[in-house]
Amino acid sequence: EAVARLPFSESPPPRAARQPVRHRQRFILMGAVRSRSLLILAQLAASTAAALTTPGRLVLLRHGESAWNAAGRFTGWEDVPLTPRGEEEARTAAELLLTEAGDVRIDTVYTSVLGRALRTAGLCVEALRRNGRPPPPILPTWRLNERHYGMLQGLDKRDTLEKWPDPAALREWRLSFAGRPPPMAADHPFYSRSPERLAALRAANADGEPLRDEDVPLTESIADCVSRVRPFWENELLPALLDGSNCLVVGHANGLRALVACVQQNVDDESLPSLGLPNGLPLIYELEPDGSVRYPSEGRCYVPPLQAYYLGDACLVFNALDQDRSGALSRDELLDVCRASFDSIDGDGDGQVAAEELAAACGDELLRDADTNGDGSSSREHAAAGYGPSQGRLGAPHRTYVPRRLVNFLEYMAWWNRQKRGAAGTSLKSFDQ
């Protein structure tokens, strides 16, 4: 309107008027100025509208417990079902979204093409529908699949940790950013490029980005997962979030860690392989209009180094134990867990727990039970194993993961769930006071 009122906005006279040349040049110049002004105003309006659009929230959810989670096996791209407990975890996650995520409506659900993630996504959508929420579409993509574990796929984790002939190499494959297990051979019992497995993957991925044979890996590092997930983040997920859509991503531990590396740029390579993403526990990112992470939100629970908050009480309990706010529990912090269940570590049966009994159970026995990723060796042992520098996400040298006697949030949740189920052979019955 302001431009329309400017003196040069009037229309030029008809050709019959035959204005002098200088007048025609004046009208041409005025028309160009007016067009340029209108273009600037249109661009300003578009940028203002974009700035006024509140980005949607990103909800990350690891699938419920699978059959191989329960058995302690390397799963990767193998398609295994949820356990009954895993199905219940999916329903509980949906309940947390309904009761603790405020008025968040889920507009779109993205998931991998593996059955355990698809089933978890389906159970969440069904719970939303039963509670009167509009059911969002479920969009599978192979880019959200779990990290491929190569020749380790299908092996028992604890048995492999104890018997592998080169423990240092095994830890490097599992706990570093760039470590990659040996590739799966064609005679592997769970060969990922077998005709039947390729057909099943393509059937689940029918409406997504086409899946070529060479897109199915035979081994991967966390770095490879980041490279696989990044195009999905940049081309589909981030634009949807910035447009105001709330998106639920149902995936897998390492696939979601790779997505975290895209969302939160300040997570270093050393921390990435052990980020806490327990089964069935929603994790929510809030974004600024420029795509950066909004952090922190008042009244929400965070576990460092993540700048996304967890729903539910587990995060609050963990942080109460994590006195130094490191994001992992040390030997000393685990003493609190033992004291809360001292009767179960009364080794001599005298009704009391000696300091030696307490220290022993909270040291070797507890860490052995809770430390499922095998990083409970000392730094000296780690150095002797020959660890050295490797390349970071941006090509810069970085330190590989240095094992410490720490139990991260993921291990804590897995251990605590075993306590609640009364797993055989555990040293602690419960610390639920």
Spatial neighbors of 162 by CB under 8 A, at least 6 apart, are none
Whether residues 282 and 340 share a domain: the answer is no
Closest C-alpha among 406, 271, 397 to residue 330: 406
> Which pLDDT score, from 0 to 100, does residue 101 have?
86
Give the DSSP letter string of 346-390: -TT-SSS--HHHHHHIIIIIHHHHH-TTS--S-HHHHHHTT---E
In this structure, the number of other CB atoms found within 10 A of the CB of residue 318 comes to: 22
Whether residues 349 and 296 share a domain: the answer is no
Measured CA to CA in angstroms, residue 328 lies from 20, 190, 200, 259 at distances of 82, 34, 39, 21
- To the question of whether residue 69 is assigned a binding role by annotation, the answer is yes
Whether residues 73 and 171 share a domain: the answer is yes
- To the question of whether residue 149 is assigned a binding role by annotation, the answer is yes
CA atoms of 142 and 210, how far apart (whole Å): 9
Whether residues 217 and 75 share a domain: the answer is yes
Q: Is there a domain that residue 42 lies in?
A: no
What helix, strand, coil percent values describe the chain, rounded to 5? 45, 10, 45
214 included as an active-site residue: no
Is the Cβ–Cβ distance between 184 and 219 less than 8 Å? yes
- To the question of whether residue 146 is assigned a binding role by annotation, the answer is yes
Task: Give me the CATH number covering residue 261.
Answer: 3.40.50.1240
Pick the last residue of a domain from 362, 378, 394. Answer: 378
10 included as an active-site residue: no
Structure tokens at 42: 């249109």
pTM: 0.77
Q: List the domain range (segments joined by +) for residue 371.
A: 330-378
Whether residues 117 and 145 share a domain: the answer is yes
Cα 221 off chain centre by = 15
Whether residues 353 and 317 share a domain: the answer is no
- To the question of whether residue 87 is assigned a binding role by annotation, the answer is no
Whether residues 168 and 189 share a domain: the answer is yes
Whether residues 360 and 238 share a domain: the answer is no
Whether residues 101 and 158 share a domain: the answer is yes
Q: Is there a domain that residue 205 lies in?
A: yes
Q: Is there a domain that residue 4 lies in?
A: no
Q: Is there a domain that residue 368 lies in?
A: yes
- To the question of whether residue 378 is assigned a binding role by annotation, the answer is no
Whether residues 165 and 267 share a domain: the answer is yes
> Which pLDDT score, from 0 to 100, does residue 409 have?
87
Give the DSSP letter string of 312-343: SSHHHHHHHH-TT-SSEE-HHHHHHHHHTTGG
Q: Is there a domain that residue 26 lies in?
A: no
Structure tokens at 83: 């356990």
- Choosing from 1, 10, 23, 63, the catalytic residue is 63
Q: Is there a domain that residue 151 lies in?
A: yes
CA atoms of 46 and 52, how far apart (whole Å): 10
Looking from the CA of 304 toward its CB, the CA atoms found within 13 Å total 9
- To the question of whether residue 142 is assigned a binding role by annotation, the answer is no
> Which pLDDT score, from 0 to 100, does residue 393 have?
38
Structure tokens at 394: 């941006």
Structure tokens at 243: 């447009």
- Choosing from 78, 146, 286, 411, the catalytic residue is 146
Pick the last residue of a domain from 313, 328, 343. Answer: 328
Q: Is there a domain that residue 93 lies in?
A: yes
Whether residues 314 and 344 share a domain: the answer is no
Whether residues 189 and 101 share a domain: the answer is yes
Structure tokens at 356: 């030696």
Digits of tens for pLDDT over the chain (433 positions)? 554 555 544 455 555 444 555 655 665 666 666 767 766 776 666 555 555 689 999 999 999 999 999 999 999 999 999 999 999 999 999 999 999 987 789 999 999 999 999 999 999 999 999 999 999 999 999 999 999 999 999 999 989 988 999 999 998 998 899 999 999 999 999 999 999 999 999 999 988 999 999 999 999 999 999 999 999 999 999 999 999 999 999 999 999 999 999 999 899 888 888 888 899 999 999 999 999 999 999 999 999 999 999 999 999 988 988 888 888 887 677 666 666 655 554 555 555 556 665 555 555 666 666 766 655 543 333 333 333 333 443 343 333 333 344 788 888 888 777 766 664 444 444 443 3
Q: Is there a domain that residue 31 lies in?
A: no
Q: What are phi and psi of 134, to 5 degrees?
A: -65, 130
- To the question of whether residue 116 is assigned a binding role by annotation, the answer is yes
The beta strands (E) that lie in 57-161 are given as: 58-62, 108-111, 138-140
- To the question of whether residue 164 is assigned a binding role by annotation, the answer is no
